[in-house]
Amino acid sequence: MDAFMNWFFAFMTTILESVWNGISGLFGAIFSFFNFPVIFDQLNRFKSDFNALAWILCVLTILLTYAIFAAIIFLIVIVIRKYIRFRKTLVGNEDLLEEIADLHRDVVKLTAEKERIMALKLDPTGVTYEELRDLFEEEKKERGIVDTDEPMETGEKQVVENEGKRFYRLSAVDEKYKYYVPPEYDRSMSLEELCNDIRNYACSSSNLYYEVKTIRLMIAGLASTKLILLQGISGTGKTSLPYIMGKYFLNDSTIASVQPSWRDRTELFGYFNEFTKKFNETEVLKRIYEASYNDDINIIILDEMNIARVEYYFAEMLSILEMPNADEWKIELVPSSWDTDPAHLVDGKLQIPQNVWYIGTANNDDSTFAVSDKVYDRALVINLDSKGIPFEAPSTEAKNISYSYVESLYKKAIEDYPVSKENLDNITHLDLYVIEKFRVAFGNRIIKQLKIFVPVFVACGGTELEGIDYILATKVFRKFESLNFSLIRDEIRGLIAYMDTLFGKGNMKECTEYLLRLQKMMY
């Protein structure tokens, strides 16, 4: 055993001395490489015999030697870095593959869970309708509950009857109007009296102050289009105006608060849930359906209308409301009909009634979308840019006024106050001038709206030129905002002068003020 220990000691001494000699040799070599005192001592011994060429070769030798050493060290560092990066890539790929495998397993689990849920008939815990019914019957027997033939209350009966229907709210409307008796409508007011009455009611009942021109624009606008757009700064009463009108007509407005996530028509009308076999109805859909039962004035407010893109979620309605034949105003809610569907839903399609007005509010700030030309062309825009001035108004009561009566007042106004031939000719001349100078045309839709709006505006207490002025400012000259300002700014003064020539100096106040503001923005 002593011999083994002596050998082991000798062997380990040899190995450790070899390792130490290697390490010390490496560091000794590096130290020797940078042992500048020895190098300078060698140089001192031989420099006395150096000539100019020898000095040059000496300096080059030193520089090249150290440059080669630095290059070798640099290459070694590059190789080490590449190796480390390669190892990280391999590890990263392995982690990614493992994560993908985990996600795949999760997808398989979720798919199985989805199939299990879809297989259920009623209870997501796994109890089918038949099992739940049997449990319910057993519970009744244990408690001694027996069925009776006594009639149910009206509300209970309605709930049971609507249980198997996919349009629960619309079916409830059918029940509501089974024994409906229309109210006694007021048919004594003119359009001008109606405007003054609404203004006084807003003031006396809610301390809301509006200029009479604003009310005239609203009533006249609703004659020419079903869609009104109230825009302006916050706090000017945009939402309050249609809201108080609903109160005045004794038929509260339905308010739909538009959300930024709205993308299509399902946000307005709802959608059919294939899982529950029920249609998720909205208040807007219910209000439109209920309007088909009555002759009331129904107002739907699209609050913050441009917080989402109007041309997305309201696109179908924009197209429908433009159809000349009101019988074609239909939206398809479901592709087929059921026997239990609401009475006014034919083949899954809902007829849009005429007695519904859609009034949107829009703020112009960074949080909203710009309203497109498609919407502006179809709607009538009313700008509310200032708060109303308080005034004294007599106490005014709300009125039951039917839509058919207001519509008859509209028709009478169009007959009694048609736009004069002189002004129609002047509008034609102005149209040609604007086409030539600005490449913008009025369009048939604008002329059609003008021929309805202006007579009703006159019947509401305004003047013909005021009505024409407002339509041109909001429908035609608004389009100038999309033009190249540098090309049109020199033409604006000429346009204002030409309108003064056609309609009389200072008569086109709205147009002139708008064009001057636009010109000011260009400089």
Element (H, E) at 254: strand 254-257
Nearest-5° Cα angle at 308, 304 to 311: 110
Q: Look at residue 75 in the predicted model and tell me its pLDDT.
A: 86
Q: What distance in Å separates the CA atoms of residue 523 and residue 516, rounded to the nearest whole number?
A: 11
User: Does the predicted TM-score (pTM) go above 0.85?
Assistant: no
Find the range with the poorest average confidence among 72-81, 150-159, 332-341, 498-507.
Answer: 150-159
284 touches 330 (CB < 8 A): no
Structural domain includes residue 407: no
For residue 333, give the DSSP letter: S
CATH of residue 370: 3.40.50.300
Distance CA 406, CA 187 (A): 9
pLDDT greater than 80 at residue 101: no
Q: Are residues 85 and 223 located together in one domain of the fold?
A: no
Q: Is the pLDDT of residue 129 over 50?
A: no
- pLDDT tops 60 at residue 263: yes
181 and 326, same domain (yes or no): yes
Contacts of 289 (CB under 8 A, 6+ apart): 170, 173, 342, 344, 345, 350
- 300 in the same domain as 158: yes
Specify whether 241 is located in the same domain as 328: yes
Q: What is the pLDDT of residue 431?
A: 92
Asked whether residue 286 carries a pLDDT value surpassing 70, the answer given is yes
- Summarize pLDDT for 137-167 with one digit per residue, the tens: 655 455 454 454 444 444 444 444 555 689 9
Strand ranges in 333-475 using DSSP code E only, listed in sequence order? 345-346, 349-351, 356-363, 380-383
Q: Range with the lowest mean pLDDT among 266-280, 341-355, 479-493?
A: 479-493
CA dist 459 and 223 (Å) reads 12
Domain shared by 315 and 250, yes or no: yes
- Taking the C-alpha atoms of residue 445 and residue 435, their distance in angstroms, rounded to an integer, is 16
pLDDT of 359:
96
Residues 320 and 268 sit within 8 Å (Cβ to Cβ): no
Within a domain: residue 311? yes
Between these two residues, 128 and 113, which has the higher pLDDT value? 113
Q: pLDDT tens digits, residue range 419-478?
A: 999 999 999 999 999 999 888 888 888 999 999 999 999 999 999 999 999 999 999 988
Q: Is 290 inside a domain boundary?
A: yes
Q: Tell me the CA distances in angstroms from 264 to 267, 268, 328, one per residue in order.
A: 6, 8, 21
330 half-sphere exposure, CB direction, 13 A CA radius: 15
Residue 409 lies in a domain: no
User: Does position 121 have pLDDT exceeding 50, yes or no?
Assistant: no
Helix 444-459 and helix 403-416: axis angle, to 10°?
A: 100
The tokens of 42 are what?
């060698």
Asked if residue 1 belongs to a domain, the reply is yes
DSSP 474: I
Task: Indicate whether 21 and 119 sit together in one domain.
Answer: no
**pLDDT tens digits for range 333-367:** 999 889 999 999 999 999 999 999 999 999 877 77
Q: What is the pLDDT of residue 439?
A: 86
Q: By mean pLDDT, which of 23-32, 111-120, 414-423 is the weakest?
A: 111-120
**Same domain flag for 226 and 375:** yes
Tally of CA atoms within 13 A in the half-sphere of 339 that contains its CB: 2
Provide the pLDDT confidence category of residue 125 given band limits of 50, 70 and 90: very low
Q: Which domain holds residue 522?
A: 417-523
Asked if the structure places residue 408 within a domain, the reply is no
For range 63-73, the mean pLDDT: 81
Same domain, 507 and 448: yes
Q: How many domains does the chain have?
A: 4
Query: Residue 353: helix, strand or coil by DSSP?
Result: coil
The answer to whether position 53 is within a domain reads yes
Q: Which of 129, 146, 163 is the last residue of a domain?
A: 146
Assess whether 71 and 210 both reside in one domain: no
Choose one of 114, 146, 178: the last residue of a domain: 146
For residue 385, the model assigns a pLDDT of 82
Tell me: do 114 and 172 sit in the same domain. no
**Percent of the chain residues past pLDDT 70, beyond the cut:** 82
Q: Which residues contact 190 (CB under 8 A, 6 or more apart)?
A: 409, 459
Instruction: Say how far apart CA 83 and CA 426 lie, in whole Å.
Output: 84
∠ CA 334-335-337, rounded to 5°: 75
Whether residues 105 and 173 share a domain: the answer is: no
At 113, is the pLDDT very low, low, confident or very high (cuts 50, 70, 90)?
A: low
In a shared domain, residues 163 and 254: yes
In a domain, 467, yes or no: yes
DSSP one-letter code for 476: I
For residues 348 and 47, give the distance between their C-alpha atoms in angstroms, rounded to a whole number.
Answer: 109
CB contact set of 308 (below 8 Å; sequence gap of 6+): 258, 259, 260, 261, 262, 263, 369
Q: Where are the alpha helices (DSSP H) in 144-189?
A: 154-162, 168-176
The pLDDT tens digits for 374-403 are 898 899 999 988 888 899 999 999 999 999
Cβ(297)–Cβ(406) under 8 Å?
yes
